[in-house]
Structure 1
């Protein structure tokens, strides 16, 4: 006899993954500001679902260190310290540098066209000051490097890092302006030339210049918080 499977259980499993994906995407796109308070009931109402998949997704995001449990009923987006951000920056330099090198060595015509399209669309988004789309395209560009490089495990690690720093990048994207995209052009040229060293340098410059802006904003937030106390 063939075993029977519960269609309802499958739907619940898919719903849980969908809710996690939606909340993770919102974090990476900066839709929740640092120190924002999240409630399960409000999120469930917003997503049009029950509280159970939202609660499960939040628990996963706490394990990812993208959210922090303050109390039994209080979950917040963490406020990152400069020291923690510097650690993330160091890890990104190594891992995204590896992804850039492998992309330069492995990229085919379609891959290069894909990266070029992302850069062109990002330029247009910045020109019309559509910062939400520009931010999304920036994230897609960085993740595309891991995809083209054929490094799925690295992409998973980057996903967790971007969950934690998404709110910071979102805050810095508009003030950063061209700093947030200029090095993408250099990286694209390096990939077209299959120059792994130049690709690694370009991504390092991209991460480093953006980090300067982010660290400056973190310092300002700490100074403001200190003045309030």
Structure 2
């Protein structure tokens, strides 16, 4: 289980919700992992009530599933669900990258380049950190498009697939993630040159790379049937 930071006073239910949601997006929980309300409350330094409220909210959003009254699990997404998520990301993140090519600031571009180098270094040794950095790269591109509603929708997709991306980074060959030919580099070059079509194509190609995980999931389901 991921280690969670203690929370400050305030709207604890909202804070707990945000922490668990971010943890799902970052891939710090694995598909099927059980979350215990009492354990989360202890880690966060809060009572059970705000944790329960946050958990129920995430269950209603299909980010978590309740198998029994006290059995909360990270959702193990089916291949068809992941395929739909990929479909949504293909268009939303792709168009965001195209817009970002004309809207990104020099400071944002410099921060993206730093994130990419950190991602490349982490991918060789730390799949969990690589998954976190990968998410930060994608979100930074969408943020640079200046479309908050699209950003919120993309965020919802990452909440659902975050745990699977952790698996992705564990199963993909290290050379593919650390290679200088990674699509992130094509994306950075296009953003640097104000190339909307190039940025769109690079990010969509990067997203399509995740289709390998769909095939892997289908193989796992076939083995378990």
**What TM-score do the two structures reach when normalised by structure 1?**
0.87
Tell me, which stretches of 5 or more residues in structure 2 are unaligned? Answer: 1-7
Secondary structure in 2 matching 1:30? coil
- The residue number in structure 2 matching 1:185 is 185
- The residue number in structure 2 matching 1:7 is none
Distance in 1 between residues matched to 2:129 and 2:168, nearest whole Å = 14
Secondary structure in 1 matching 2:134? helix
Compare CA radii of gyration and give the structure with the larger one. Answer: 1
Distance in 1 between residues matched to 2:157 and 2:53, nearest whole Å = 20
Residue 150 of structure 1 pairs with residue 146 of structure 2: yes
Q: Which has the higher helix share?
A: 1
Give the drift of 1:23.
Answer: 0.9
Within-5 A mapping of 1:1-229: 11-13=9-11, 15-127=12-124, 129-176=125-172, 177-180=174-177, 182-212=182-212, 214-226=213-225
Is contact 2:120–2:177 with CA below 8 Å preserved after alignment? no
Give the drift of 1:32.
Answer: 2.0
| Number of equivalent positions | 214
**What TM-score do the two structures reach when normalised by structure 2?**
0.89
> After the TM superposition, which of the residue ranges 39-48 and 139-148 deviates more from structure 2?
39-48
Distance in 2 between residues matched to 1:166 and 1:122, nearest whole Å = 16
- The residue number in structure 1 matching 2:4 is none
Secondary structure in 2 matching 1:70? strand
Distance in 2 between residues matched to 1:46 and 1:108, nearest whole Å = 38
Tell me, which stretches of 5 or more residues in structure 1 are unaligned? Answer: 1-9
Deviations 1:113-136 (A, max 9, x none): 111111111122224x12222111
